[in-house]
Amino acid sequence: MAKVVVLGAGVAGHTCASFLKKKLGKHHEVVVVSPNSYYQWIPSNIWVGVGQMTIDQVRFKLQKVYDRWGIVFKQARAISIHPEGNAETGRGYVTIEYTDEQYAGQTEIVDYDYLVNATGPKLNFDATEGLGPDKNSLSVCTYSHAAHAWEHLQESIRKMQNGQKQRFLIGTGHAMATCQGAAFEYILNVAYEISKLGLSKMAEITWISNEYELGDFGMAGAFIKRGGYITPTKVFTESLLAEYGVKWIRRAGIYKVEPGVVHYESLNGEMKTQEFDFSMLIPSFTGVGLTAFDKSGADITDKMFLPNKFMKVDANYTAKPFEEWTASDWPTIYQTPMYENIYAAGIAFAPPHPISKPHTSPNGRQIFPTPPRTGMPSGVIGKIVALNIAEQIKGGHKEHHHKASMARMGAACIVSGGFGSFDGLGASMTVFPIVPDWEKYPDWGRDMTYSVGEAGLAGHWLKFILHYLFFHKAKGYPFWYLIPE
């Protein structure tokens, strides 16, 4: 009997655990360790942030699903990895600390045959002075943050209805933040709701981003077929913002947020400020801060993780300039180079380098987005890691038959721009691959036959249906495994 431990129950971890149990059955043990008792479908947090969904529509209790599947669930956070065991045992283990009410603070050792690190990101609000829902800005990164943002949005709406103008500032809250897509979706939804209430003239809405050009989204932008032309996503994105009456500030590295004002440095080195009454700013991400120790107890954290605390996998981490980046730098099986029974899935794996071109201001501040690893790639990675581990356990071999490089996988992104069966809007974009491959596709960096960029009701319907499809899949309802990631 083999034991697989999955750290994290987000998109990557939950997908991985579900496929592991499906493939391994009752004869092997799958353990999930997650500090949160709920699964949350993060893309729908945007709708919580504008009051179109409640918290309970975007989350469900993990324990009930795992009991049905026969997965052991421990509501705890992982603290350290001991891949070689210790002086008493040669078996790898992790130490965890419980976060549930009953056992809060208690630690436990959980041994494993295979370990999957799918711990996701730490929302690093502290990297920007004054940033975050506990300080001077809002967030939609978790369902509770989104609900908090909705409370503040209602307050701003009330003020506008009473004749008081409001300034909205939405975007990235750090010079190297990623997840522009979520912030972009939120600003479109906020603008839509304000317009629906007839309050557009009372609102000044501004997008602020660390992107060199709008539409970069941390993936170096893209080209899409649209209106008989091949156009950059810059045009698509700016067009949507202009249509919604949104102004924008780009190439901005926010370094401080005070009540009602952000301080940022522009890429040309100017120090500027932007005032606001309502601001939703995405923080930078780091790994969750797992530590690692060898058999003797020596700290090997810096060998298993990069300084940004994401775990090293089978990528090429050799430092090289933007012009020399290649598709083959990106990992395919997500196995750590030091230990063949440890994998990192989803946001927890360390990308070999950014996708967007790095830019630095004259003062030395790096201002560009770090790579996104959102729902679809995280789910796909979680699945292939599970399939490879399950095949190794059942087949008694060490081969990897399933591969999924971000330089060989596409992404479909639907940005909601309003909620309503007949007056909503979804901006749909697809790219293939996520990481541009200029060797294989010398004209546009990607395969244009897979390119989509359009706005309309169809995208909104699709996004709405996907919300329920992904919940069906995550809850393990009949034929869940047929729904793609």
Among 135, 261, 440, 456, binds other proteins (CB under 8 A): 456
Is 180 an interacting residue with respect to other proteins (CB under 8 A)? no
Residue type, 389: I
Is 345 an interacting residue with respect to other proteins (CB under 8 A)? no
Judge contact between 357 and 212, C-beta under 8 A. Answer: yes
Among 266, 457, 475, 476, binds other proteins (CB under 8 A): 457
- Using the contact rule CB under 8 A, the part of the chain among 158-166, 184-192, 282-290, 427-435 near other proteins is 427-435
Between 180-196 and 233-243, two packed helices, what is the crossing angle to 10 degrees?
Answer: 30
Burial 393-421 (b: 16+ CB within 10 A, else e): beeeeeebebebbbbbbbbbbbbbbbbee
Among 306, 448, 462, 469, binds other proteins (CB under 8 A): 462
Least distance CB 348 / other proteins (angstroms): 19
Among 62, 389, 407, 411, binds other proteins (CB under 8 A): 411
**DSSP alpha helices (H): ranges in 298-353?**
301-304
Is 11 an interacting residue with respect to other proteins (CB under 8 A)? no
Phi, psi (5° rounding) for residue 393?
-65, -45
Contacts (CB under 8 A) with other proteins, residues 271-330: none
Residue type, 388: N
Judge contact between 154 and 191, C-beta under 8 A. Answer: no
Among 422, 442, 443, 479, binds other proteins (CB under 8 A): 422
Burial 64-87 (b: 16+ CB within 10 A, else e): ebbeebebebbbbbbebbbbbebe
Among 79, 261, 412, 448, binds other proteins (CB under 8 A): 412
E-strand ranges in 210-348 read 223-226, 229-232, 247-249, 252-258, 261-266, 271-275, 278-282, 284-286, 291-292, 342-344
Among 159, 225, 402, 440, binds other proteins (CB under 8 A): 402
How do beta strands 29-34 and 3-7 pair? parallel
Classified as helix, coil or strand, 47 is: helix
Among 170, 380, 407, 415, binds other proteins (CB under 8 A): 380
Least distance CB 422 / other proteins (angstroms): 7
Q: Which is nearest to 352 in space by CA: 378, 322, 384, 380?
A: 322
Among 24, 96, 208, 455, binds other proteins (CB under 8 A): 455
- Using the contact rule CB under 8 A, the part of the chain among 292-300, 318-326, 350-358, 398-406 near other proteins is 398-406
Q: Is 388 exposed, middle or buried (0-12, 13-18, 19+ CB in 10 A)?
A: buried
Is 409 an interacting residue with respect to other proteins (CB under 8 A)? yes
> Which residue, 192 or 432, is less far from other proteins as judged by CB?
432
Contacts (CB under 8 A) with other proteins, residues 181-240: 235, 238-239
Least distance CB 278 / other proteins (angstroms): 20
Q: Specify the DSSP element, H or E, that contains 298.
A: none
Among 432, 470, 473, 474, binds other proteins (CB under 8 A): 432
Q: Measured between alpha carbons, how far is 240 from 259 in angstroms, rounded to an integer?
A: 29
Among 423, 439, 477, 481, binds other proteins (CB under 8 A): 423
Is 403 an interacting residue with respect to other proteins (CB under 8 A)? yes
Is 377 an interacting residue with respect to other proteins (CB under 8 A)? yes
Burial 459-472 (b: 16+ CB within 10 A, else e): bbebbbebbeebbe
Is 383 an interacting residue with respect to other proteins (CB under 8 A)? yes
- Give the binding site for other proteins (CB under 8 A): 235, 238-239, 241-243, 246-248, 376-377, 380, 383-384, 402-404, 408-412, 422-423, 425, 428, 430, 432, 450, 452, 454-459, 461-462, 484-485
